[in-house]
Amino acid sequence: MKFRPWYRAWPETAALMFGIAWIPLLPRRAVVGLSRFAAKVAFKHANELREIGRANLLIAFGDEKTEEERDAILLRSFESFGLLVLDIIWFALNTEKRLEKWFVWDESCEPLYKKEAQLILVAHYGNWENMGQSYAAKGQPIFSVAAPLKNQSADKIFIALREKTGQQIIAQQGAARKLLQGLKKGKKLAVLLDQNTKPKDGGIFVDVMGLPAPVSSAPAALAVKTNTSVFTLTGTADETGLYTATLHDIVAPNPDAEDPVADMTQRMTDSMNAVIRKQPEYWCWMYTRWQLIPEGQDPTHYPFYARAIEPGDLKS
């Protein structure tokens, strides 16, 4: 992985430190208001992100929703993501006190408190970052994998923030053994599944809202190997910025499936996709989710940013 050159890294780090110095001092309503203002500006001026979002929503919903309805969802998506970015910093001050006040875990989450190994499935949906902090603050032994940022200084700051309440962050490289050991010890592992993982990196193509897209098979492989159930979890904010964590589904491995790992990967994907389709405004639609077109698929069914899969994307 290439890291940021110093002349780009230090302004980014300085901006982050500046944000950490003043954003946590804002009252909650100001943080929510700032996220909405930033979302409107981004929706109007971030042309590439807006068009990616529009293309993705068309893939997911087609004529089920009008153009106006899709744009309304996209604006709310910008707002949700903006609040997440601000809250990563806002919760840095009086962290446990603020998490207790502004992150509610509803009754559906009771199974998550069992003393057993669990795979917790999250997505780029709502506030997945502070949800991990909140869960750890409840005394739950949670750990998660994070890809390093190109800015090493900023990466260290974000890891420190994530681990502030006891969550353990594991580097992506060489994580498999640590994850397996953690599950065998009865810990909880949080996994993000809605990312493009090339086949050479362990991804397999599964149905994602009607189109094949690559998904990491590693979480499913861990679930199958350890016979661990997967819990689909989200944390979403209301108009005041109060988050509610909700458990939507529990998916257990099926050892009798023809390919247990592929079967589990598809069912995990289906579980989160059902959540996204029900309340789409919380998902990050600005991500190039369908960027790889597998062999044999019609390119016209894919969004404008997609490209055909190449030999370099496949396992060697």
Q: Considering its fold, how many domains does the chain have in total?
A: 1
Query: Considering the chain, what percentage of its residues have pLDDT values greater than 70?
Result: 97
Q: Is residue 1 part of a domain?
A: no
Task: Report yes or no: 83 and 23 within 8 Å, Cβ to Cβ.
Answer: no
pLDDT of residue 106: 97
Per-residue CA distances from 258 to 5, 57, 254, 264 (Å): 48, 33, 9, 11
pLDDT of residue 15: 87
Report residue 290 CA to chain centroid gap. Answer: 16
The domain of 14 spans: 6-313
Task: Report the DSSP beta bridge partners of residue 146.
Answer: 171
Report residue 258 CA to chain centroid gap. Answer: 29
Residues 6+ apart with CB under 8 A from 142: 120, 132, 135, 136, 166, 167, 168, 187, 188, 189, 190
pLDDT of residue 316: 64
Q: What is the pLDDT of residues 203-244, one digit of tens each?
A: 999 999 999 999 999 999 999 999 999 999 999 999 999 999
Least confident piece of the model among 97-101, 184-188, 202-206: 184-188
Q: Is residue 241 part of a domain?
A: yes
Task: Report yes or no: 53 and 283 within 8 Å, Cβ to Cβ.
Answer: no
**pLDDT over 80 at 42, yes or no:** yes
Task: Report yes or no: 209 and 232 within 8 Å, Cβ to Cβ.
Answer: no
pTM of the model: 0.94
CA-to-CA distance for 254 and 3, rounded, in angstroms? 41
**pLDDT over 70 at 85, yes or no:** yes
- Tokens coding 166: 């006891």
Q: Is residue 143 part of a domain?
A: yes
Least confident piece of the model among 15-19, 28-32, 39-43, 255-259: 15-19
Q: CA 207, 308, 310 angle in degrees (round to 5)?
A: 110
Q: What is the pLDDT of residues 54-72, one digit of tens each?
A: 999 999 999 999 999 999 9
Q: What is the pLDDT of residues 126-183, one digit of tens each?
A: 999 999 999 999 999 899 988 777 888 888 988 999 999 999 988 877 778 888 888 9
CA-to-CA distance for 105 and 107, rounded, in angstroms? 7
Q: Is residue 41 part of a domain?
A: yes
Q: CA 302, 305, 308 angle in degrees (round to 5)?
A: 65
CA-to-CA distance for 267 and 173, rounded, in angstroms? 26
Query: Considering the chain, what percentage of its residues have pLDDT values greater than 90?
Result: 82
In three-state form (DSSP H/G/I as H, E/B as E, the rest C), the secondary structure along 104-154 is EECHHHHHHHCCCCEEEEECCEECHHHHHHHHHHCCCCEEEEECCCCCHHH
- pLDDT band, very low/low/confident/very high, at 4 (cuts 50, 70, 90): low
The residue type found at 79 is E
Task: Report yes or no: 59 and 276 within 8 Å, Cβ to Cβ.
Answer: no
- Tokens coding 304: 């404008």
* Closest to 211 measured CA to CA, from 55, 36, 50: 55
**pLDDT over 80 at 294, yes or no:** yes
